[in-house]
Chain A
Amino acid sequence: MKKIQILFFAIGIIVLSGCKKYLNEEVQGSLLGSGALSSQQGLEAALTGTYAGLENTWGTGFIHATAVGATMGGDDITTHKASNKADFRQFDQFDVTSTNQRTQALYSGCYKTIQGANNIIANYRATVGDATIISNIAGEAYFLRGFSYYWLVRLYGKIPLMTNPDFADSLLTIHSSQPADVYSLIESDLNTAATLLPNTKRDPGRPNKGTALAYLADVYLTEGGWPMNDPTKYALAAATAKEVINDSTLYGFHLVPTYTELWANNPATNGTPETVFQLSTFLGVGSTTNANYGASAMPGEEGGWDDFFSELNFYKNFPLGPRKDATFDTLFTLGNGATLPYQQSQTQHPYYKKYYQYNRSSNWNSSTPECLMRFAYVLTIYAEAEARATGTPDALAYQCINAIRQRAGEAPLSGLSGPDFAAAVVQEKAWEFAAERYRWFDLVRLEMVEQANANKDPNDLQPIGTITKADYTFPLPYSETSVNPNL
């Protein structure tokens, strides 16, 4: 009896003494608050997470056919008429709904990156570590924020403008900002990035100072047209592009000798020296594998998914030469080894060989870097902007455009008026950057969408209804407006 009483007494003491701290939450292995960014390593990890918004296979960003799909309103690309490509068809037919999963993927990815960049920008000044690396990290964050907003403002027009990483319930009722406010932030971010970034990229998949300036030049060029329509920006575009061209050796940018080697797509080379900005990808980790190259771009006959391919008139009008050969695939190889001309294929369209994988592998995934801007593009910015700003293309402008034409096997341009030269540059861009997600934005800023879609081949998807300025941007995703109807 005594023993038992002692036992109960002891247990009672133990139980009661343990109570006080029993409900304290032990958080282990979890990161909380802005303190996570107080070290250089923490800041770097936050930057890595910031990139992830732009490169999440099937989820968000650019390393699957989403961004190509979103620019299908251009006359360079189209998709399968039947099959399971309804989202893609909406872009090609100017009938984009708020539930289109492709715009959702771009939208969410850009904002996830903006959130990460906001966090770095808000905290990097307090980070302890190597000052140069910290400023490089901050530069990349500013660049990524500017880059993301640039995509968003062109896709949607009016958008919510977020510059603070902290969440508050009040953010759920804010209104969208005007494009002018967004562009102003983009200019500021890219300028800041240019001051913080090094001349040499830290890795192939990161920006350098030249990258920031090249994007700034492109932003100015876009502001010259619809919807900002500010012609004074052309001079800024030309000046900024010229800065990049002048310092191209410093930034490591130059044209590669042939158009074909641009699209070898060998992951081992980590891109080409012509790359101004790319998102690197890695096959070994599911969410960073590149799904834009390979099956997505290939015909069903070769095990492809028929996600996107060339519009018929675009192919027909495309000037002959090594560039055309490197751009398109017109002869498909069947499983039994026989070949089939595209005219006899199921979709009866040529495909973009550019987006085939190294050695024509029909895999859907690869480590091919996703190139988002080439040095050739910077040359066209200067050429067009200079012509539009001054009314007369200068020697450098001709030099820029002719370097591209020459490589493509085309005769050099000469003796054109300002407007004619600019128009020629825009057309040259269509060929040079076919399916590289530029044509749509050129058509929009120059208000050429209606014209470019007026005479489509009858065997291509036709616009649904009349194209209006409302079709120049897409409705905000339903996930946004359903939560915040004020947008």
Chain B
Amino acid sequence: MQSKAHFTLNPLIAMRNAGLRLPTRKLLSKERRWMGQDFHFIFRKQNWLVMKLTAILLLSACLQVSATGFSQNVTLSEKSVSLQKVFKQIHKQTGYQFFYEDEMLNKAGRINITVKDAPLEKVLAICFKDLPLSYSIVNNAITVTPRKVAIVLQQQLPAINNIHGTVKDQNNNPLTGVSVIVKGTKKGTSTGADGSFNIDANVGDVLEFTMIGYKSKIVTVGQSSNITIEMDLEVTVGNEVVVVGYGTQKKTDLTGAISTISTKEFADQPVTRVDQVLQGRVAGVQVTNASGAPGADVRIRIRGANSVLGNNDPLYVVDGFVGADFSTINPDDIEAIQILKDASSTSIYGSRGANGVVIITTKKGKRGGFKITYDGQVSSSQVIKRYDLLSAYDFATIVNQRSVDLNTAPVYTQAQVDFFKTNPGTNWQDLVFRKSMGQQHNLSVSGGSEKTTYLLSANYLDQDGVINNTGFKKYSIRSNINSNPTDKLSIHLNIEGSRREGHNIGLIAGSGNPVTQAISWAPTTPARDSSGNVTLSDPVGSAVGGNPLALMYDQTSDANTNQANIIGGINYKLPIDGLAIDLQYGMNYANAQGAYYGGSIVTRGNPAASRNSTEQTTVQSTSSLTYNRTFHADHSINAVIVFETQKYIQNYFSSSSSNLFFPSLGYYNLALANSFAVGSGYTESAILSYLGRVNYAYKDKFLLTAAVRRDGASKFAPGNQYSTFPSVGVGYNLSKEDFVQKLNIFSNLKVRASWGITGSQAINPYATLSTYATGTPAAFNSAGVIYGIQLGNPGNLNLKWETTKQSDVGLEMGFLENRITLEADYFVKNTSNLLLNQALPAYVGGGTETKNVGSVQNKGYEFTLGTNLVKGKNFNWSSNFNFSFVKNRVKSLGGIAPRIPAGTGVGAGMSITNEFMIQPGYSLGSYWGLKYLGTWKPKEATEAATYNQKPGDSHYQDINGDGAINTSDFQIIGTGIPTSTLGWNNTFSYKALTLNVFVQGVFGIDKLNYTKAVGEAGAGDARQITFSEIKNRYIPGVNETSNIPAFSSTDVIYTQSSRFIENGSYLRVKNVSLAYNLPLPKKSKINIKVFVSATNLLTFTKYTGLDPESSNIGSSTDTAQGIDYGAYPNSRTYTFGINLSY
């Protein structure tokens, strides 16, 4: 019978491949009680898959027994009809007689049935599907009886001894639905709601207890007829199913380096965004909160930075949508996160896989029941530390001393200096920093019927920044719906929408920022004048920069983004075993509205306002064919071929007005102004891809993955559009070998190796074309401007993909039943055809030309150690440690230049040339400047004089020995890319208390501390020195050992020197949280948990700035990270939270 194989084999394979235990035999074995109860129990445990498969198997078994070949057909169309009525109809149409008890049918309820000219056996099958009834046909009589498993297995061994007992979990809670079988026999049962069971067995028989998610347990029957069993949760990751992109795979069958973060790891921590989940939790992933502003940019790197020009952000795939915006995801909606690191995993994403891939799967509703959860948090934040600034009196004294030393007139009269003995002056930091509050609320409801599940969740976040008048709000809502209208068809629809509101976040950068100005403005300058107006300019300190108060309150920069992501798809099992077709369509829409208003003070009497609107639409279609089958029990094959297209369209317009007539209208009425500027633009790009992958496993022992993707991209000129990205990975599960098992050391031992090619979309659309720069204004009278055009960057038709070849070898070990696991990887990533923007000299019009030149290498190793150190009845300590090291080296620049400068624009007015240099043999992000050798000392006076210097002046290394200090003495003086990171996550639990201590560290990075150059050397806007450290300067005859230069007219200060390069390594107690599970009656079904948490509690670093983690450069660049020029610091945050679930 065709349908037999169809019903029985396919689900078995599906289950096997899904990594589930195969309970079929146990469930089919003899059972005294009515099987329906078992359904019920299993159902309650939400093992819906098992239940469903069991139903199918039983049904097919029924059919096997009962089918005898009917020829008469039936036509019916009834909704919510009683069985009695259906039987009457069938009787009318076929003449067959039914025998049953009314009560039995009443219990069964009503059914829906629509059949047309269908054979009787099929009609009966539909009728009895999902009903606790069975039937038999003798001649033309149909007898309906309660379904009994005895149909399958008739024989029964004589009961020798009746064993009864209870099965419980580690927490002493009864376990329902545990299979209990007598080994070597077909006798079996399962536990009831109270965890109890009854089974007949002989003394000496072995009972095996199994349940999904728990370690199976074996007990030999002794004299006692009463047994209590405790089952442990399965800690092995062996059966874990991992999302690998365009499919899933068993963790044990992986050949690539893929890390998983489960929601448990950040359960009781005040997480508001995905990056906080990633930070420190996975070896090989570096997360830097470049800005401490709420809702601000974060830099995430997987195995280092490959690209100079392109974005080194990993690719985010959310529920199959490629290139999603991770910042819109509510962490509470996350089911699992997978991080694909090596090429055999990432090459399935081809031209976008070079930076690693983060796959996020969102939660789905569970069958049966209805669950509500609420999480609420309130938090309080403040800066980790403050700058040590001179008091007003010290400042005035030192300014005057400096004036004398530099042969200028004293700034303050003695009376003014004396005045500050009693008057503290202005504490600018007090005016800038504050203690800020935040709150977050999550509410979700989920559930489902047998065929359809749903999840709805909403999130609200409101965080104020530690700098006054900055803040961030986020609203999001998600709806995930899954349905299986038939056994073969499943459909899903995920809709997510969010609104993000950033207030004044973007203002905090560079010299015109309240933090930089707070250390530039003199403490002797009052913040407000006698009539309460903000002081407009500082006669002593900051030269250009506005009053910090004005910078915070006299301007508004709002960035509001509305975003929606919609993904829908269908999956259909084709009538060939293991073959299914999957279609998914996705759309992401983001509308970003920016608005700025600068008041009269910051604009010096020319109030201005602007608005801009950017609309981004991404449309994706993914069609795939999957094939999953196991042959002869040992050979399992999992294959997929995919056709995918993605189009991205961006449209923007902007408008700005200045000389506003009514400044009080802010940015809301741009028309009432003297002058206007408008702009608009459009960008579009598309990717077309074909890909395929085969996973093959032999006895789960020898593993092979081979994949290839071919991507075409519109960004390149025809001829260079397509590229192919192949990969291969192999694995050997040694722990499945007898000789390893005999050693009795390893619970898991696997070696794997992979190689592959990925690419990077490093260029912007239209980079191959020479376009005009538009919107260049010029004035021809004093009344306004005209906008013109200028030749833009020359296009390069020869541009092609940047490609990264990556090799990886990995070792996975597990000891003591995986209480200790160790995973180690070594990798080498070589990026060639590196796309670089070569700066063009000004004489050809300046700008840059994009070229494929050179290569960069990242190589390194990663370790992850997972331990369950203490495992007691009440006390548990589990600890996960990861460490990774990446060495980044520029290998070649293709001979176009010995080195290529990379600037930032951050230090405009500070640095005399680009702060970074890309040079073979060094890492990307190498600092370029003079080596500072300290101050000239008295015994070096003669040598100093040859440089027109004297003792106490800055002494720089003259590397070419030409007797002059200039750009020819510049050299690489540090590295702005970290080499290693570590994360250490500890969870201690004692009864209902859980303590989490999470430590994170970054090492091997230097920072260029421009803030120090401002405060300690009076660079940039600062005309005077405000840092207390200046008291320790070189003073001739008094303090001649100091390396802080003396006040001297011959001294030359280079901000781009190793004097301001500092070790930026740090180790940080990122989070400590204590959670308490309220002891509620077990039957209440409500779970309440409260927690308190401290973020950034302790930081160990030599860095002298406010925060080693923050910098001025956004996540888009790696060559220039590590500059701190008044960067928005990360804060220390205390959070209280409550978590309710029902």
Chain A interface residues toward B at CB < 8 A = 4, 8, 11-12, 15, 18-19, 22-33, 36, 42, 44-53, 55, 81-84, 86-87, 97-101, 104, 107-108, 111-112, 114-116, 119, 159-160, 162, 165, 167, 169, 171-172, 202-206, 267-268, 270, 279-285, 287-288, 295, 300-301, 303, 305, 335, 344-348, 361-365, 367-369, 459, 464-465, 477-480, 482-484
B402: chain A residues at CB < 8 Å are 82
Query: Can you list the 7 inter-chain pairs with the closest CB atoms, starting with the nearest?
Result: A48-B788, A284-B675, A49-B788, A203-B780, A49-B790, A115-B845, A282-B779
Which one, B544, B788, B1023, B1052, contacts A364 given CB within 8 A? B544
Stretch touching chain A among B23-31, B403-411, B1059-1067 = B403-411
A to B CB contacts below 8 Å, 22 in the list: A23-B688, A25-B684, A25-B714, A27-B771, A29-B681, A82-B1023, A99-B913, A101-B912, A111-B842, A112-B845, A169-B849, A172-B840, A205-B781, A279-B779, A282-B675, A283-B658, A284-B659, A300-B540, A305-B543, A348-B409, A465-B948, A480-B842
Query: In the bound complex, do residue A84 and residue B1018 qualify as a contact, i.e. CB atoms below 8 Å apart?
Result: yes
B408: chain A residues at CB < 8 Å are 81-82, 346-348
Chain B interface residues toward A at CB < 8 A = 402-403, 406-409, 411, 489, 536-537, 539-540, 543-544, 572, 581, 583, 604-606, 608, 621, 623, 643, 645, 647, 658-659, 674-675, 677, 680-682, 684-686, 688, 712-715, 721, 765-766, 769-774, 776-791, 794, 838-846, 849, 897, 901, 909, 912-913, 948, 966-967, 1018-1023, 1049, 1052-1053
Query: In the bound complex, do residue B686 and residue A22 qualify as a contact, i.e. CB atoms below 8 Å apart?
Result: yes
A112: chain B residues at CB < 8 Å are 790, 842, 845-846
**Minimum distance in angstroms from B507 CB to a CB of chain A:** 16
A206: chain B residues at CB < 8 Å are 780
Query: In the bound complex, do residue B840 and residue A483 qualify as a contact, i.e. CB atoms below 8 Å apart?
Result: yes
B604: chain A residues at CB < 8 Å are 363-365
With A25-B765, A28-B682, A51-B788 in contact, is A15–B643 under 8 Å at CB?
yes
Query: In the bound complex, do residue B789 and residue A46 qualify as a contact, i.e. CB atoms below 8 Å apart?
Result: yes
Most chain A beta-carbon contacts within 10 A, residue among B539, B608, B623: B539
Query: In the bound complex, do residue A270 and residue B841 qualify as a contact, i.e. CB atoms below 8 Å apart?
Result: no
Query: In the bound complex, do residue A52 and residue B777 qualify as a contact, i.e. CB atoms below 8 Å apart?
Result: yes
**Complex: A84 Cα to B703 Cα, angstroms:** 65
**Minimum distance in angstroms from A80 CB to a CB of chain B:** 8
**Complex: A288 Cα to B606 Cα, angstroms:** 14
A4: chain B residues at CB < 8 Å are 489, 572
With A116-B790, A283-B658, A345-B409 in contact, is A84–B771 under 8 Å at CB?
no
**Minimum distance in angstroms from B731 CB to a CB of chain A:** 34
B790: chain A residues at CB < 8 Å are 46, 49-50, 52-53, 112, 115-116
Seed contacts A284-B784, A288-B778; 4 additional CB < 8 Å A-B pairs:
A23-B713, A84-B1023, A86-B1052, A111-B842
**Complex: A281 Cα to B604 Cα, angstroms:** 17
B782: chain A residues at CB < 8 Å are 204, 267-268, 270, 280-282, 367-369
Query: In the bound complex, do residue B788 and residue A203 qualify as a contact, i.e. CB atoms below 8 Å apart?
Result: no
Query: In the bound complex, do residue A172 and residue B841 qualify as a contact, i.e. CB atoms below 8 Å apart?
Result: yes
**Minimum distance in angstroms from A85 CB to a CB of chain B:** 9
**Minimum distance in angstroms from B956 CB to a CB of chain A:** 13
**Minimum distance in angstroms from A286 CB to a CB of chain B:** 8
With A84-B1021, A108-B842 in contact, is A50–B537 under 8 Å at CB?
no
With A115-B844, A282-B782 in contact, is A22–B688 under 8 Å at CB?
yes
**Complex: A51 Cα to B781 Cα, angstroms:** 13
Query: In the bound complex, do residue B771 and residue A32 qualify as a contact, i.e. CB atoms below 8 Å apart?
Result: yes
**Minimum distance in angstroms from B712 CB to a CB of chain A:** 5
Query: In the bound complex, do residue B1019 and residue A300 qualify as a contact, i.e. CB atoms below 8 Å apart?
Result: no
With A25-B766, A362-B537, A478-B967 in contact, is A162–B844 under 8 Å at CB?
yes
Which one, A46, A205, A365, contacts B788 given CB within 8 A? A46
**Minimum distance in angstroms from B822 CB to a CB of chain A:** 46
Query: In the bound complex, do residue B772 and residue A31 qualify as a contact, i.e. CB atoms below 8 Å apart?
Result: yes
**Minimum distance in angstroms from A194 CB to a CB of chain B:** 20
**Complex: A350 Cα to B64 Cα, angstroms:** 110
B659: chain A residues at CB < 8 Å are 283-284
**Minimum distance in angstroms from B487 CB to a CB of chain A:** 12
Query: In the bound complex, do residue B766 and residue A48 qualify as a contact, i.e. CB atoms below 8 Å apart?
Result: no
**Minimum distance in angstroms from B357 CB to a CB of chain A:** 23
**Minimum distance in angstroms from A151 CB to a CB of chain B:** 13
**Minimum distance in angstroms from A303 CB to a CB of chain B:** 4
Query: In the bound complex, do residue B913 and residue A464 qualify as a contact, i.e. CB atoms below 8 Å apart?
Result: no
**Complex: A464 Cα to B966 Cα, angstroms:** 14
Which one, B785, B794, B843, contacts A284 given CB within 8 A? B785
B913: chain A residues at CB < 8 Å are 99, 478-479
What is the chain A residue whose CB lies nearest that of B581? A8
B912: chain A residues at CB < 8 Å are 87, 97, 99-101
**Minimum distance in angstroms from B875 CB to a CB of chain A:** 56
**Complex: A111 Cα to B841 Cα, angstroms:** 10
What is the chain A residue whose CB lies nearest that of B489? A4
**Minimum distance in angstroms from B118 CB to a CB of chain A:** 14
Which one, B411, B674, B771, B779, contacts A31 given CB within 8 A? B771
**Complex: A275 Cα to B846 Cα, angstroms:** 31
B794: chain A residues at CB < 8 Å are 167
Query: In the bound complex, do residue B771 and residue A111 qualify as a contact, i.e. CB atoms below 8 Å apart?
Result: no
With A98-B967, A284-B658 in contact, is A301–B539 under 8 Å at CB?
yes
With A8-B581, A25-B714, A49-B776 in contact, is A335–B539 under 8 Å at CB?
yes
**Minimum distance in angstroms from B1051 CB to a CB of chain A:** 10
B966: chain A residues at CB < 8 Å are 97-99
Most chain A beta-carbon contacts within 10 A, residue among B684, B782, B849: B782
Most chain A beta-carbon contacts within 10 A, residue among B572, B643, B1023: B1023
Which one, B407, B682, B897, contacts A81 given CB within 8 A? B407
**Complex: A46 Cα to B774 Cα, angstroms:** 9
Query: In the bound complex, do residue A479 and residue B839 qualify as a contact, i.e. CB atoms below 8 Å apart?
Result: yes
Query: In the bound complex, do residue A27 and residue B842 qualify as a contact, i.e. CB atoms below 8 Å apart?
Result: no
**Minimum distance in angstroms from B541 CB to a CB of chain A:** 10
A283: chain B residues at CB < 8 Å are 606, 658-659
**Complex: A483 Cα to B776 Cα, angstroms:** 26
**Complex: A346 Cα to B408 Cα, angstroms:** 6
A171: chain B residues at CB < 8 Å are 843-844
With A19-B688, A25-B684, A52-B778 in contact, is A285–B623 under 8 Å at CB?
no
**Complex: A172 Cα to B780 Cα, angstroms:** 34
With A51-B788, A348-B409, A363-B604 in contact, is A205–B770 under 8 Å at CB?
no
B948: chain A residues at CB < 8 Å are 464-465
A81: chain B residues at CB < 8 Å are 406-408, 1049
Query: In the bound complex, do residue B539 and residue A300 qualify as a contact, i.e. CB atoms below 8 Å apart?
Result: yes
**Complex: A479 Cα to B677 Cα, angstroms:** 32
Query: In the bound complex, do residue A281 and residue B779 qualify as a contact, i.e. CB atoms below 8 Å apart?
Result: yes
Which one, A98, A369, A483, contacts B839 given CB within 8 A? A483
What is the chain A residue whose CB lies nearest that of B543? A305
B841: chain A residues at CB < 8 Å are 160, 172, 479-480, 483-484
Query: In the bound complex, do residue B407 and residue A459 qualify as a contact, i.e. CB atoms below 8 Å apart?
Result: yes
**Complex: A30 Cα to B770 Cα, angstroms:** 10
What is the chain A residue whose CB lies nearest that of B539? A300
Query: In the bound complex, do residue A480 and residue B682 qualify as a contact, i.e. CB atoms below 8 Å apart?
Result: no
Query: In the bound complex, do residue A165 and residue B839 qualify as a contact, i.e. CB atoms below 8 Å apart?
Result: no
Query: In the bound complex, do residue B1052 and residue A477 qualify as a contact, i.e. CB atoms below 8 Å apart?
Result: no
A50: chain B residues at CB < 8 Å are 788, 790
A115: chain B residues at CB < 8 Å are 790-791, 844-845
Query: In the bound complex, do residue B777 and residue A285 qualify as a contact, i.e. CB atoms below 8 Å apart?
Result: yes
**Minimum distance in angstroms from A39 CB to a CB of chain B:** 12
**Minimum distance in angstroms from A343 CB to a CB of chain B:** 9
Most chain A beta-carbon contacts within 10 A, residue among B407, B721, B788: B788
